Amino acid sequence: MTSFLIAFGVFGLVFIFAMIGLTSRGGEVEQKQNLIRRLARPENDSEVSITRRSRRTEGGSFGLLYQLNLLRSLEENMWQAGLYLRVSEMLLIIVMMFGGGLFLGQALWHDLSFALLPAFAFSLAPIVFIRWRRARRLRAFNQQLPSALDLIKSSLEAGHSLNRGLQVVVQEFADPLGSEFRTVLEQTRIGLPLPRALDDLLKRVPEEDLRLLVVAVKVQTQVGSSLAIIVGRLSEIVRTRQRLRLQIKALTAQSRMGGYIVGALPAIVLGIFSLVQPSYAQTLFTDPTGIKILKAAIVLDLVAFATIRKLVKVKY
């Protein structure tokens, strides 16, 4: 069993470096062309509701997992993070990271139960990176949106069309807002209606402030009204929402930091005792009863950390 774990771990470490090289292939132009080509595929639905967040995707060999929304959610998160890899490539990276962590844990502790901890931690690292990059990208898009709305409003008041206003936005703004609206314009050039292209944009950038813009364009398309006035008012609303969001974040910062400190305190105390007085913590790693207590403490601490994080998270 140990030989198998070592062999699998070495195999995993080799593939980790291979996948790192794989993720760096292709430039931005190739990635954008691939994105536009995939978004331009015809779907069975003629209209896409702005309240629906799932996207129809070919499952291939992982069709069952797509039906369970596991791989579909992973793919959507990668797209929203600006990573245009295949799901199979990301799954291979996760599996190989699991193997590398399993090898490292087995080499350090010679216990399969403890070896699973770094294995799961390593396998979750790509997902954590995707979520972090997704959050950073969406936050950057949201910060650029009010200024982009002002520019669209000025373009409309000058007598230009909405498409022309979007072209100006693409020229003036950098990634992520500029690249996402460039994709919208490319979709309209290949024949996709503008409301449908904005629906696809909303799937790639699931921000409530952007949803307001999509609704405004759809309403203006159907009933007709002054889009410049709507966009100007929308810009004020977005800025007000962002200001309130920052105020809520500032008011809850102390509670969130306190919850994180309390959740991490057991591990910090155990680490300090292991360095200052190793004999105090040695029993937990050598005695069978101590190992069982340590395993139970790890599980309970993870549950407590998740519970605290859920409690201090403010929904607005």
Domain ranges of the chain: 2-26+61-133, 139-247, 253-312
CB 276 within 8 A of CB 231: no
Angle between helices 194-204 and 177-189 (to 10 degrees): 150
Angle between helices 278-286 and 288-312 (to 10 degrees): 100
Which tokens belong to 93? 């990276």
In 3D, which of 119, 84, 93 has the Cα closest to residue 17?
93
pLDDT one-digit tens code per residue, 179-226: 888 888 888 888 888 888 888 888 888 888 888 888 888 887 777 677
What is the per-residue pLDDT for 16?
56
* pTM of the complete model: 0.66
Greater confidence (200 vs 311) lies with 200
In 3D, which of 243, 276, 206, 8 has the Cα closest to residue 119?
8
- Alpha-carbon separation of residue 60 from 38, 40, 43, 44, 89 (angstroms): 15, 19, 17, 18, 13
Of 63-72, 248-257, 275-284, the least confident: 63-72
**Which of 84-93, 146-155, 256-265 ranks highest by mean pLDDT?**
146-155
Greater confidence (242 vs 308) lies with 242
Query: By percentage, how much of the chain surpasses pLDDT 90?
Result: 0
pLDDT one-digit tens code per residue, 39-78: 544 444 444 444 444 444 444 445 555 555 677 788 888 8
Which tokens belong to 306? 């998740």
**Residue 312 burial class via C-beta count within 10 angstroms: exposed 0-12, middle 13-18, buried 19 and up:** middle
CB 248 within 8 A of CB 256: no
Just give the CATH number of 139-247. Answer: 1.20.81
- Alpha-carbon separation of residue 272 from 266, 267, 282 (angstroms): 10, 9, 13
pLDDT one-digit tens code per residue, 107-148: 777 767 667 777 888 888 888 888 888 889 988 898 888 888
pLDDT one-digit tens code per residue, 71-86: 778 888 888 887 777 7
